[in-house]
Amino acid sequence: MSMPFYVAPEQMMKDRADYARKGIARGRALVAMQYNDGIALIAENPSNTLRKISEIYDRIAFAGVGKYNEFDQLRVAGVRAADLKGYQFSRLDVDARGLANQYAQILGQTFTHEMKPLEVEILVAEVGLSPDRDQLFHIMYDGTVIDEHQFTVLGGDMETIRDRMAERFIPGSSLQDAVKFAHQALSIGDTPISSSELEVAVLSRNSSRRCFTRLSESSITQYLI
Amino acid sequence: MPLFSFEQDPGASFGELLKRVGLSPFGEAGPTTEMLVPHATTCVALRCADGVVMAGDRRATSGNLISHREMEKVVQADQFSGVAIAGAAGPAMEMVKLFQLQIEHYEKVEGQSLSLEGKANQLSMFVRSNLPAAMQGFMVVPIFAGYDTLLQHGRLWNYDATGGRYEEHDFVATGSGMLHAGTVLRMGWKRDLTVDEGVELTARALWEASDADSATGGPDALRGIYPVIASITSNGFTRVSDAQLKITYEAIAKGVGQR
């Protein structure tokens, strides 16, 4: 009869965390930041069809890095949860905090109970009616939720990019300055990222209902001039 | 958070999603109480050169009583389409709400909008799933109209209570005042109407319907309540302002006075 080896729980968790971290760091980075009229989400993404940033609800956006199929499944679950809650109660009852908690449950559950943790890090952003009500929830592969302020960085060489942003971040900048700034922070290689490899979407504060808009490649190019 | 296995996954259908989580409003009709349901009534739509014009009166009735004076029976479905509804108010409003949600839900899950034809087909399925309730008197008959961004012209659809979907080329009318309104449209419609002419013609159609049908409300100058009239063109859905309709109806009233 074979005898299973004993693996200390600490070791098991560490192995899983390393595995997830490696998977996430292999992908390209994404940043989200406040600007004078809302929240801008900027990602390095060579694909023009497989999106990292998308709309969840009227004032809520989703962004994911890591394994595409894994965070896309979470995105769809989020759209469903939000639309169901809005249908059952009121559109005003759908909030980012609730969604972030549900995501944290799923990620935490998978991390501890499944063979393989999800190799994703996600962001749930909600634009408030005033800048101090904006919310950025950064959720890690193990279900840890971080309530971020002003800006956040997900995936890729996260630490380097975060340091670069923290050095020069100015609150209340225009959208153009925000896109330029994020572009510079994301371009850690030898050459700057081309505008065709940038995915940009905004949650603009004063839109009537659906605040989410995706910027076209031509407007991204214009912003970067 | 709703997570589904591969076989159970409802895809981009909000209606199926509601069924999976046990929230579907369709298919459970109660006892027959035909005359107690407020019936929302005349709606018209026509095609013009730049798109479509939709119009609906504001009255809801319970038997011979007016139960509501400010119903909005023409509603925006999304940027380039609108729905007008006639029938039992409760199920009709629920259907419109679900339809709007379905379009938005699809767009978010799939990352792109449904085609105009796809939306018309989706609405037909909603009407069909309301059939058991329609048999008991809770009938809902919508009109769907919009600007087709692929074909670059306006399109109209008429429905029947079983979910039958019929594309119309010129104009369409539904509800208890449909005969009178339809006749006005038939007399006044011509190819390549401008949006303003379309607005005037639908306003006139509703006037004549309200003049002959007690379940259709006319313009209420005393309370400042006018029909909901909207145009849908390549610029999207635009509702005509009450101020403009006030002027339109004053002109119609003057014309009628001189008959």
Residue B235: CATH number of its domain? 3.60.20.10
For residues B174 and B54, the answer to whether their CB atoms sit within 8 Å is: no
Q: Is A23 on the interface with B (CB under 8 A)?
A: no
Domains of chain A: 26-224 (3.60.20.10)
* Structural domain boundaries enclosing B198: 37-257
Contacts of A78 (CB under 8 A, 6+ apart): A56, A62, A99, A102, A103, A124, B1
Chain A positions in Cβ-Cβ contact with residue B24 (cut-off 8 Å): none
Q: Is residue B3 assigned to a domain?
A: no
Strand-pairing partners, residue A63, are A53, A123
Q: Report how many domains make up chain B.
A: 1
Q: Averaged over A33-55, what is the pLDDT?
A: 95
Shortest CA distance from B101: residue in chain A: A83
Mean pLDDT (chain A, rounded): 94
pLDDT band for B40, please (50, 70, 90 cuts).
low
How many C-beta atoms lie closer than 10 Å to residue B146's C-beta?
27
Q: Is residue B1 assigned to a domain?
A: no
* pLDDT value of position A85: 96
- Taking CB atoms and an 8 Å limit, are B108 and A79 in contact across chains? yes
- Taking CB atoms and an 8 Å limit, are B104 and A83 in contact across chains? yes
Q: Is residue B24 assigned to a domain?
A: no
Q: Is A97 on the interface with B (CB under 8 A)?
A: no
DSSP string, A116-173: S---EEEEEEE--SSGGG-EEEEE-TTS-EEEE-SEEEESSSHHHHHHHHHHH--TT-
Q: Is residue B23 assigned to a domain?
A: no
Burial of B24 per CB tally in 10 Å (0-12, 13-18, 19+): middle
3-class SS at A206?
A: coil
Q: Is residue B32 assigned to a domain?
A: no
Q: Averaged over B123-137, what is the pLDDT?
A: 89
pLDDT band for B35, please (50, 70, 90 cuts).
very low
Give tens-digit pLDDT for B241-259.
999 999 999 999 999 999 8
Shortest CA distance from B11: residue in chain A: A76
* Token pair 């069909």: residue: B128
Structure tokens at B207: 């006037």
* Token pair 């950064």: residue: A138
